[in-house]
Structure formats: C-alpha cells, structure tokens
Amino acid sequence: MQTKGTIAELVLLDGLPAARILCPPPMIPAPGKYLLAHANGSDAPLAASVFPASSFTDGFLAAPPIPDSWTPGTHLHLRGPLGHGFILPQSARRVGLIAFDDSSRRLLALLDTALTQDASVTLVCENPPDDLPLRVEVQPLRALNEVCAWADYVAVDAARESLPVLKSRLGIGSPLRVPKDAQILIRTPMPCGALAECGVCAVETRDGHRLACEDGPVFDLKEIF
C-alpha cells in the first residue's frame, strides 16, 4: 500500500529525534514491521525505513534514527507496512526485551500488548529510557542469560553485523539457551523494500540467505542460530 503521511512533530527519545507521523490506520506498522518513507521534494536517493516505537489511532511514533532533514509539517510518501513483525504469544507471561546494540525503542512497541496481557516485562539494555512504566524491570546486558532463562518469550533487536557476538553471548550451541518463543529483529539497510531484489539486506540463516526486507526483519531466533 502507498499513501501520504505528515510529520506532526519531532520528539526526543533517549536524546535522539523521533517523528510522530500521521497516516491512515492501515499504514500503521505493527511492532517489528516497517514503512519506507520518502520526504516530499527530498533529493535523498533512497527512502528511509521507519519502525514504530508506539502507535496511536491516527498514526505512530517512528523510532530513531530518522533522517536529519525531517521537520514538522514535512509530507511523506509512505509504502508499507512491510515485512514480518513480532508475534507476542497470548500465553506469554514473562517477556524479555533485549536491545543488544542500539535503542530499545523498536522493542518497546511491544510493551502495551505485553502489559495488557498482564505479562511481566524485563528490558535488557545498556541505556534504558527514562520514561518506562514502573512495571518494567531493567537489567544490564550482562544479565542477558539470566533473563533468557527466566522468560517464556524473548524479543531481540540487533544489527546484522552484531550477530556473531550475540550468538556467543547467548551461549548458543546445544542445548539452545533461549525460550522456545524467541524472535529477533535484524537491522540492515533495506533500500528497496523487496521491490528490486537488490540483495543488500541479505541475512545468513540456517537455511541459507534470506532477505530481511521481505522474510524479516523479524525472524525466529532458531532460524538464525
């Protein structure tokens, strides 16, 4: 689907600009899914991929990073929602959110659903946001393995180049030391959003190469490790 959107305002999230984007409700990406967005009149050669940090009835808050040139009132050409997002099982009662190497905001898009189903939530990250609900526990990355052992669902956010380090930190081998329900959002450039099959977003999985833009960017962790 393609349509237009508008940047209603910029807000600082963890010291970085994020954009509140107004758009038709069907365009609002679910947690882990994304839109390709191009500012009207921009000379940027490629659209930016934007992920939700939270959503509203008339749009969503796009998690950092966003293009520097975006300002309130900017009109956007939007395509999406694209890709596969997170699937939080309704039965999950102990949810671990692991921001391995970047902002936790893409993972926090899951927070409302997790809290609504009365799950306990632990966020693992090095730079926790200061506006978290009191119900959310925060742990540093060194607690990664303890949180994985405690959780019955884990969502991870990591850059493609961080996957080897993540794998060793998780101690993955046999047996797998993560819950059965574990997913990972793999961040890569996604310049064409599957339109041109450019291959820039290729991810190595246990079954060969997959495209993050189309097959992901959220994968089952067991597909990757």
Alpha-carbon gap, residue 75 to 163, rounded angstroms: 35
* Of the residues 6, 38, 200, 223, which one makes contact with ligand FES according to CB under 6 A: 200
Interface map 135-174 toward ligand FES (x if CB under 6 A): ----------------------------------------
Question: Does 213 participate in binding ligand FES (rule CB under 6 A)?
Answer: yes
Alpha-carbon gap, residue 63 to 176, rounded angstroms: 31
* Of the residues 7, 147, 211, 221, which one makes contact with ligand FES according to CB under 6 A: 211
Report 180-199 residues binding ligand FES (CB under 6 A). 190-194, 196-199
Number of residues forming the site for ligand FES (CB under 6 A): 13
Sign (positive/negative) of CA torsion 115, 118, 119, 120?
positive
Match 């939080």 to its residue by tokens: 88
Nearest CA to 194 among 218, 220, 216? Answer: 216
What does DSSP assign to residue 115?
Answer: H
| 98 backbone dihedrals φ, ψ, rounded to 5° | -120, 105
Report 53-112 residues binding ligand FES (CB under 6 A). none
To ligand FES, the closest distance from the beta carbon of 158 in angstroms equals 18
Binding site for ligand FES (CB under 6 A): 190-194, 196-201, 211, 213
